[in-house]
Amino acid sequence: MKILITGASGLAGSYAARLASKKHQVLACYNRNPIDFDFCECAKLDVENEGECAQVIGNFSPDWAIHSAAATIVDKCELEKEWAQKLNVDATRNVCKAAKKAGSRVLMISTDYVFDGRKKGGMYVETDATNPLSFYGKTKLEAEKTTLASDAKNAIARTSVIYGLLPAELRQQRKNFVTWLVDELMAGKKTKLVDDQINCPAYAGNLAEALVKICEKNLGGIFHSSGGERASRLDFGKQIAKEFGLDGKLLEKGKTSELKQPAPRPYDSSLNVKKLEQAAGIKMITCGQGLALMHNEKK
């Protein structure tokens, strides 16, 4: 198969490019941070530029375009709505339009933040009603709708708190929850983590498996594609400290209300991944398993 990946210089996109390249012809696309992977072809693609989308996607003519590029900083999206709307919604329309013309299907990566987190016990299924609280969540939901309206055979992978290791040259400028916390604890800093925000963190290598399987099996529709275990930020933090041999006593319990984050967060947006596991024939792993794999990679 031919697979094009937008945002391949990002966390999910870089893992997907590496994994997909083992079996498929991949075009890994970046925008501001050039990548030069030795395992696949790389190209510049600004998804906000309609003409560039038409040209790059049209020329490569992939079976699937995995659309990972997005405005991913949730609080920045709340404060800079025009930027978020353009990058998450308008750009998704550009990608879908170009893909449709090229006869390609689109697999868009979305988020657990399309839910309000008020479902008792969480573990949202794909048919549960959406109700995003943040502007980021609203734009991602609109992008989902755009993707599915463009072609009913397109797919959506909703994921959560992605962690892993970016290509070395990009690691310092863009941290994820795990790399950030490891750095804080290594510096001996006391760190407050909330115990009232629950999600299912996704190891980027496991998410990549889900994305590639969705393409290989030609699955359409929405698939919850997070990790397979729910945890509060504090519980996840304790597991991170343990796996990386750091001092878990530096972690302090906090509450969301103390953080004063510009964008409201759902309290429990944990996702049920059974539909994906059955359709794709894969297992979405626990936090402990994902952290051990990431630690191994780091070594």
Ligand X SMILES: NC(=O)c1ccc[n+]([C@@H]2O[C@H](COP(=O)([O-])OP(=O)(O)OC[C@H]3O[C@@H](n4cnc5c(N)ncnc54)[C@H](OP(=O)(O)O)[C@@H]3O)[C@@H](O)[C@H]2O)c1
Q: Are 14 and 8 in contact (CB under 8 A)?
A: yes
- State the amino acid at position 60 in one-letter form: F
Single residue of 3, 4, 5, 10 touching ligand X by CB under 6 A: 10
Under the binding rule (CB under 6 A), the answer on residue 99 touching ligand X is no
Candidate list 161, 214, 251, 294; residue touching ligand X; CB under 6 A? 161
| From 159, 269, 272, 286, residue interacting with ligand X (rule: CB under 6 A) | 159
Q: Which of 85, 104, 160, 197 binds ligand X (CB under 6 A)?
A: 160
Which of these is catalytic: 30, 124, 136, 163? 136
Query: Does 33 participate in binding ligand X (rule CB under 6 A)?
Result: yes
Residue 133 Cβ vs ligand X, minimum distance, rounded to whole Å:
14
Least Å distance, CB 87 to ligand X, is 6
Q: Which residues fall within 8 angstroms of residue 256, CB to CB, at 6 or more apart?
A: 194, 196, 197, 265, 267
Interface with ligand X includes 47 (CB under 6 A)?
yes
Nearer to ligand X, 69 or 284 (CB): 69
CA distance 175 to 170: 9
Q: d(Cα 75, Cα 248) in Å, to the nearest integer?
A: 27
Position with the least CB separation from ligand X: 10
Rounded-to-integer distance, Cα 24 and Cα 283, Å:
22
- 124 noted as active-site residue: no
Assess 270 for contact with ligand X (CB under 6 A): no
Query: What backbone phi and psi angles, to 5 degrees, belong to 65?
Result: -110, 115
Q: What does the alpha-carbon distance between residue 218 and residue 103 come to, in Å, rounded to a whole number? A: 14
The single-letter code of the amino acid at 87 is L
| 124 contacts 183 by C-beta, under 8 angstroms | no
Q: How many CA atoms lie within 13 A of 298 on its CB side?
A: 15
Q: Does 46 bind ligand X (CB under 6 A)?
A: yes
Q: Could you tell me the smallest distance in angstroms from the CB atom of residue 265 to ligand X?
A: 12
For residue 135, the one-letter residue type is F
The size of the chain, in residues, is: 299
Q: How many residues bind ligand X (CB under 6 A)?
A: 28
7 is a contact residue toward ligand X (CB under 6 A) = yes
Looking at the Cβ atoms of 174 and 283, the one nearer to ligand X is 174
Q: Which residue, 34 or 247, is less far from ligand X as judged by CB?
A: 34
Nearer of residues 19 and 47 to ligand X, judged by Cβ: 47
CA neighbours within 13 Å on the CB side: how many for 266?
31
Which tokens is 56 given?
């790059």
Q: How far is the CB of 73 from ligand X (least distance, A)?
A: 7
Residue with token string 């990002």: 10
Which sequence positions are flagged as catalytic? 136
Residues that bind ligand X (CB under 6 A): 6-7, 9-13, 30-33, 45-48, 68-70, 72, 87, 109, 111, 140, 159-162, 174
